[in-house]
Structure 1
Amino acid sequence: MVRGKTINGLMRHLRDEHNIDISGSKHKRELLNMGYYHGYKGYRFIRSSQNQIPYTDFNEVVAVYEFDANLKAILYPRLMFIETALKNYTLDTLISIGPVDFDNVFSNLLNDYKKENTGNSKYREKMKKRLELRNKINQAISYNYSEQKAVIQHFFHSNKPIPLWAIFEVINMGEFGFFLQCSNQDTRIKIAKDLNIHSTSHNQNGRIIEDIIFLIKDLRNAVAHNSVVFDCRFKKANPPARLKEYLQNETNQSNITFEHIVDYFIIVIFLLKKLGVSKTELKKIVRIFNDESEKLRNSIHAPIHTSIMGSDFRNKTKLLKSFI
């Protein structure tokens, strides 16, 4: 039988094994609130377990934990807004093209595979993604029907085809990204133009919107599930160069790598501006983000802050204000 450590035992463990100054009722309460495994073990390194943060005082752990929590509080409502708005803009574009029952859209718009020679590797790859998308959508419909989601049940019980807007209600952001990926080039470019996110230099094939969605979905999921976000460990793949170059050109930034959280704030502010959010609100978001960074800077050693935020953090936020 395995016996776990009590909170007092965990505090002794941090003192004796990790040389962290932790004691008293305040630290005990903070460790209980954050949890040893979700809290300390989740915030003891930057991006990789090989890059341990050299904590000496438990107050530093609390500062990083609170910084992370406050980042999620800033980002959550804005990411939900962006997800909903991007789906709605896409729907509006598709409605202008033709009927938006899913069978029609699947046949006439989700046909990017037709650009390839029949049977070659790219054709098979795109066809596979298209069929996988259909399966994922059918699974989402089935799940939401069994969960008695009214919007899905209504169309089934009325013996009507499920419109695309109802499908967009039940698919996640990744599936939405695959939807755009399977769309033909003309459709992708029209959606990008309607969002004013089109560049003949960087978006010739209309892939910028799906690049953006695949990028921010990892952040969105980490925020929504209360995972660690401060060090961008949620990032699953390196974004394509065309997206980085496009953002740098649009925002007058340089060295956007998405290795630091400031770069994700750049793309969030960029999208919110494209979606018509006021300058006052955008400036407020950047100001709060700066304040949280300064609070962290005053609570941990300077090299740790630089490792978390990047050496060019201040310049990037200054340029972000100019972009707004």
Structure 2
Amino acid sequence: MLTIRQMMRYLRNTHNMSIKSQQAHALRNLGYYHGYKGYRFIRIPQNRIPFHTFDELLAVNAFDMELKSMLYSKVMFIETALKSYVHIFNRSLTYYKTFASGSRDYANFFTKRMNLRGSINNTLKRDYQQHNQIVDHFFNQDRDIPIWAIFESLTLGDFGNFFWCCNKNVKLYTSRLLKLPSNLDADGELTRDIIFTLKDLRNAIAHNNVIFDTRFRTKRISPRLVKLLQKETSIRQIDFQYIDAYIILIVYVLMKMQVTKKECKQLISGYTASKESLRKAIPSSVWIQILGSGTRNNMMLLKEYVTRL
């Protein structure tokens, strides 16, 4: 493995990047493999950022860390709140019965339901072995674990699958609690789309992975979710290859959960300030590649949306 000094020479000679001798500690703290190699491209490794100086790379890293810092509490709040919004009744995991018995969809969702039960059991077993206080309390008294306690242990992805397996009544009830427009959510599935869209961001933040360019996204974003956000916020340029779209989604959900306008505007202002700091530190062409040409207008419209509610 190369020493820090050897890495600095490598950056200068191989990548034509100016790096100062006194930045050795900054490179060590950033990490060559996790840091430099993670921040040298946008979304895919082939889309390299033409850094001229190490300061430019540090600016992208700082922007990424600021994003994770400002979004972590918001995403965790939404995850916790969503779990309390979903009211489960007896025999609620019956979405598979929506389809004809023996059909492909029936088989797919029945299998999903069975896989979910296995995943829940494995999660509870893990938490019991790790002496989770809530799970211990019920297991040691040989009592059934209530749904709220199960939700405490579920990952956001498993919770999304749980919601997906619920019947239509549960989904529509949740949609009404969130005050989602019924003309855009007639089947109650938009909550599922919100959960799965936020899941990838939540996991990336929790594992301290790079998020500034949305490379964490694992699945295609639901067109219905994009249409919802466009119609509700009057923002037309919503593209989830840019982090703007996740800011818009988070603010939208927070407003639906009755979070104050002040708190939502603080998030928008903090994000805007971080973007502007990045703009001053890197070439404008790279800034636009990262954030998109419509980012300023998007945040202006998002603030107007919060104000008029």
Which bracket does the TM-score occupy, shorter chain normalised?
over 0.9
Provide the residue aligned with 1:52 in structure 2: 48
Provide the residue aligned with 1:6 in structure 2: 3
Correspondence 1:268 to 2:268: no
Deviations 1:32-60 (A, max 9, x none): 11111111100000000110000011100
Provide the residue aligned with 2:39 in structure 1: 43
- Report if the CA contact (8 A) 2:39-2:61 is conserved: yes
Q: How does 1:220-259 map to 2 (within 5 A)?
A: 220-259=202-241
Provide the residue aligned with 2:125 in structure 1: 142
TM-score for both structures, normalised by structure 2: 0.97
1:168 partner amino acid: F
Q: Per the alignment, in what secondary structure is the counterpart of residue 45 of structure 2?
A: strand
2:199 partner amino acid: K
- Report if the CA contact (8 A) 1:261-1:309 is conserved: yes
- Report if the CA contact (8 A) 2:42-2:48 is conserved: yes
**Structure 1 Cα separation of the partners of residues 113 and 184 of structure 2:** 25
Q: Per the alignment, in what secondary structure is the counterpart of residue 49 of structure 1?
A: coil
**Structure 2 Cα separation of the partners of residues 141 and 88 of structure 1:** 19
Residue of 117, 131, 135 corresponding to 1:152: 135
Provide the residue aligned with 1:77 in structure 2: 73
**Structure 2 Cα separation of the partners of residues 49 and 215 of structure 1:** 23
Correspondence 1:204 to 2:200: no
Provide the residue aligned with 2:106 in structure 1: 123
Report deviation, 1:281: 1.0
2:243 partner amino acid: I
Provide the residue aligned with 2:24 in structure 1: 28
- Report if the CA contact (8 A) 2:204-2:216 is conserved: yes
- Report if the CA contact (8 A) 1:137-1:167 is conserved: yes
Q: Per the alignment, in what secondary structure is the counterpart of residue 28 of structure 1?
A: helix
Report deviation, 1:256: 1.4
Report deviation, 1:200: 2.8
**Structure 1 Cα separation of the partners of residues 28 and 255 of structure 2:** 40
- Report if the CA contact (8 A) 1:202-1:243 is conserved: no
Residue of 157, 160, 163 corresponding to 1:180: 163
1:252 partner amino acid: S
Structure 1, unmatched stretches of 5+, are 99-103
Q: Per the alignment, in what secondary structure is the counterpart of residue 111 of structure 2?
A: helix
2:223 partner amino acid: A
Across the two proteins, how many residue pairs are aligned to each other? 306
1:287 partner amino acid: S
- Report if the CA contact (8 A) 2:237-2:298 is conserved: no
Q: Per the alignment, in what secondary structure is the counterpart of residue 50 of structure 1?
A: coil
1:117 partner amino acid: A
- Report if the CA contact (8 A) 2:93-2:113 is conserved: yes
Report deviation, 1:23: 2.1
Provide the alpha-carbon RMSD of the alignment. 0.9
**Structure 1 Cα separation of the partners of residues 136 and 182 of structure 2:** 43
**Structure 2 Cα separation of the partners of residues 89 and 201 of structure 1:** 20
Report deviation, 1:154: 1.1
Report deviation, 1:88: 1.1
- Report if the CA contact (8 A) 2:124-2:150 is conserved: yes
